Chain A
């Protein structure tokens, strides 16, 4: 099965419990806001970041996700918090965005790029982001980090697959979502900071601030982030 489709199916199924658990805002999404305009939330999930941006800055945010159930949940939340006039929801794939060129004043892809398989697929996502952003607008990308003790196994798995002749990239893994009745596996491509920077450079962005973000860990950060600028 197409990995994108399998990611979609898993997130459709876990939408409600996922939305219940993801409430903490750990990514500095506010940095991309530069005055009034439209902002893009790529892979919004239950929409916690978009609702925050709409409430805090009063700008129009377009939320995009592949999972329909996630968006239905996000709309309910927006309505409850009274920001539904500012937030719009679209179900679409990040690698073929349903928007015309030069519309967004900024964008943020919080923990979504790492669900796209293959290097070329992720490059396509960022090229699409580049296409829809306006000149001099900012893009914030955060992804999961490969260098964590819990993912040590990924190195050995990669070596084993390479010896068997199976084509995988270093960092490809399946992360479980445990439910009472069964376990659902989500595809992740774990990044190194260097890889994320290169990917953004290849897609035509100029790099701004890059670094790591700790959510719960004390030593090894779980996330990397990059702020990129579309210059031309």
Chain B
């Protein structure tokens, strides 16, 4: 996913916006867009700030070059987390999530995930392995 997606993403369960992004791995591509700046409407995901609060022009050309390969999205309202695997954010509602895969993901990146998500994150967490 690109940082730009944070401008529109909300939590699928509680519809909270914006989500918090943790990047574990990202790639840089040589690409550009001929669009009017800023590309986003409300929220700059690259600087993690609403566009209104930005004093300088956002670095859109730089932002669009990155593709997040693995990472995690966190909803600060309801405490749910969503993984980003193979460049694709998996924003599934609770009933369609796979507990086994989710726990494997948490274990694999446990050194990079904040403790709050690791042990208190919804719908699945590692609290039993503490």
Q: Are A98 and B10 in contact (CB under 8 A)?
A: yes
When A88-B4, A98-B10 are in contact, do A71 and B88 touch as well, CB less than 8 Å? Answer: yes
Provide the B28-72 mask, 1 if CB < 8 A to any CB of A, else 0: 010111111001010000000000000000000000100100000
Contact residues, A1-21 vs B (CB, 8 A): 2, 4-5, 8
B78 within 8 A of A: no
Does residue B8 face the partner (Cβ distance < 8 Å to A)?
yes
- Among A53-111, those with CB < 8 Å from B are 58, 60, 62, 66, 68, 71-72, 75, 84-86, 88-93, 96-101, 103
Asked if B17 is at the interface of the complex by the 8 Å CB criterion, the answer is yes
A72 contacts B88, CB within 8 Å?
yes
A165 contacts the other chain (CB 8 A): no
- Of the stretches B92-100, B110-118, B122-130, the one at the interface is B92-100
Residue pair A98, B87 in contact (C-beta under 8 Å): no
Q: Is the CB of B5 within 8 A of A72?
A: no
Known: A5-B96, A8-B96, A36-B35. A89 touches B87 (CB 8 A): yes
Q: Are A89 and B29 interface neighbours, CB within 8 A? A: no
Shortest B2–chain A CB gap in Å is 6
Chain B residues with CB below 8 A from A91, complex form: 88-92
Cβ-neighbour of B13 out of A85, A89, A90, A96 (below 8 A): A96
Using CB atoms, name the residue of chain B closest to A99: B8
Which chain B residues border A85 with CB–CB below 8 Å? 2, 29, 31-33, 64
Neighbour of A86 across the interface among B33, B41, B88, CB < 8 A = B33
Complex Cα spacing A85 to B1, Å:
10
Contacts of B92 in A (CB 8 A): 91-93
Q: Determine if B10 and A99 form an interchain contact, defined as CB atoms under 8 angstroms apart.
A: yes
* CB nearest to A83 among chain B residues: B31
